[in-house]
Amino acid sequence: MMLLMHNFGEKLDSRPAGREAWLAIQPRLREMDAAETITLDFTNVLLLTPSFADEFVTLFVSEYPSRVFLSHTQENITVRKTLEFLSKTWGQKPAMQ
C-alpha cells in the first residue's frame, strides 16, 4: 500500500491533524493483507513537524515495524529533520529513502 502524504495536506503540523489522519486511514489498514508493505511517500510535503509525525508516522512504525517504508524523505528539510529526530525514539528504524 502506498500512502501519498501530501493527500493529508501540504503542511502536516499538528497533533489533531495527525490523529485525524491516523483514524481516517484505519479502514484501509484493515483491508491490507497480513504481509503487505506500507510506503509513506513524502513527495510534495512542504512541512512536517514532530507533533503530526508522532501521531501518525510513529504509530505506523510501532504497529507495523517490519512493514513500513518511508519514501522521498530527503526532498524537504522539515521532513528530513523531523524523521531523523523522531527515529532516535523509535525502537525499530524503518527503511528510509
Residues that bind another protein (CB under 8 A): 11, 13-16, 46-51, 54-55, 58, 76-78, 81-82, 85-86, 89
If the CB atoms of residues 3 and 17 are measured against another protein, the closer one turns out to be 17
Q: How far is the CB of 35 from another protein (least distance, A)?
A: 29
Task: Report in angstroms how near the CB of residue 22 gets to another protein at its nearest.
Answer: 13
- CA atoms of 63 and 46, how far apart (whole Å): 26
Is 75 strand, coil or helix? coil
List C-alpha distances in Å: 74 to 14, 39, 50, 64, 97. Answer: 21, 15, 16, 22, 7
Minimum CB–partner distance for residue 14 and another protein (Å): 5
